[in-house]
Amino acid sequence: MNKQAKIALIAVFLVLGVLLLSFVVAAPKASRMKGACRDGIDNDGDGYVDWRSDPGCSNKWDNSELNPNVECDDGIDNDGDGAIDSNDNDCTGPTDNKEMEEIVYEDTCSETDWGMNQVIFGITSGNLDGQNYSNSDYCITDAILKENYCMGDYAYSLEYPCADTNTTSCANGACI
């Protein structure tokens, strides 16, 4: 074997030795790397740490403590109020799937002419399923009144012939 071949062979062994040494040195570091569900840190800020405690961890090798299937643990501002997951007042915890608080509206009805009173102009107003309304009594013809009234928390209306109230005509939303 000539001198150049020996030098090339030594160079190949040196390169292989350096590569082997780099794998040996890097291997312990790789084995120390931990996923989010076994690193001892509350990565998603929900007050729970790692697998078995954090509901977002499906196992100890999971790399995220977030649960994309649950609104209060998915890392998204689902209701657009500027607060995410545990920082959103509508979330009760990381297993709560409703980031947006359900708004319950109370139906109401009130009137200004004290009920079905055809000889006084009235306005019926209130709230139905979160929508405000206001309905005024009005004359359909010169002899028929559209009377609005409340029954409990709901508004109703009926067509009322003014002749039934011993009046002769309808004007300005009342029988006269």
Last residue in a domain, options 75, 102, 129: 102
Q: Is the pTM of this model over 0.85?
A: no
Helices (DSSP H) in 2-144: which residue ranges?
Answer: 3-32
pLDDT in tens, the chain (176 residues): 688 877 877 777 667 666 666 665 555 554 455 789 999 999 998 899 999 999 999 999 999 999 999 999 999 998 888 999 989 988 888 999 888 876 788 999 999 999 999 999 999 999 999 999 999 999 999 999 999 999 999 999 999 999 998 899 999 999 99
Domain count, the chain: 3
pLDDT in tens, 100-140: 876 788 999 999 999 999 999 999 999 999 999 999 999 99
Residues whose CB is less than 8 angstroms from the CB of residue 155 and which lie 6 or more positions away in sequence, other chains included: 109, 124, 126, 128, 133, 135, 148, 149
> Could you tell me the two tokens for 33?
């790397």
Residues 9 and 63 in one domain: no
Domain interval for residue 125: 108-175
Amino acid at 82: G
3-state secondary structure of 149: strand
Residues whose CB is less than 8 angstroms from the CB of residue 154 and which lie 6 or more positions away in sequence, other chains included: 107, 109, 128
